[in-house]
């Protein structure tokens, strides 16, 4: 378990509020899993999934009613990352500010480390 101040992955207040709102509509014990998967035009892409499954090695971030999980393999790619939530004219989405990214595709959906 980790608090946001000492976590290798930070969750902003906006992201925590959005995650908590999503989880409020899910089964008790649900969490948002953030992962890095192979794919996309640049090599890797982010995946978001609501789950009740937790692994012993998961990083667990709890903030303001939000629970975010990151598996140990994805953590290597996400260390130092800030997860935010944006709501602008283009739409709503989680935004990943990842200092490990060397390049990304034009739409920003995939990246290279």
Give residue 16's pLDDT: 98
Q: CA 19 to CA 48: how far, in whole Å?
A: 11
Give residue 19's pLDDT: 98
The ranges of the chain with pLDDT < 70 are 1-5, 40-42, 103-113
Q: What's the predicted TM-score (pTM) here?
A: 0.85
Give residue 108's pLDDT: 55
Q: Partners of 44 in the beta sheet?
A: 38, 111
Domain ranges within the chain, ordered by starting residue: 9-112
The domain made up of 9-112 has a fold known as Hypothetical Protein Aq_1857; Chain: A; (2.60.300)
CA dihedral 68, 30, 24, 81 (to 10 degrees): 10
Q: Are strands 31-38 and 81-88 parallel, antiparallel or unpaired?
A: unpaired
CA distances from 65 to 50, 76, 81 (A): 14, 25, 20
């Amino acid at each position: 378990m980790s608090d946001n101040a000492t976590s290798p992955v930070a969750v902003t207040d906006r992201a925590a509020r959005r995650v908590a709102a999503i989880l409020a509509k899910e089964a008790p014990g649900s969490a948002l899993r953030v992962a890095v998967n192979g794919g996309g035009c640049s090599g890797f892409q982010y995946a978001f999934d609501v789950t009740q499954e937790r692994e012993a090695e998961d990083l667990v971030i709890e903030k303001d009613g939000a629970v975010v999980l990151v598996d140990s393999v994805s953590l290597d790619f996400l260390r130092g990352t800030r997860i935010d939530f944006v709501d602008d004219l283009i739409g709503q989405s989680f935004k990943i500010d990842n200092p490990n990214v060397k390049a990304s595709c034009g739409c920003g959906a995939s990246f290279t480390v």
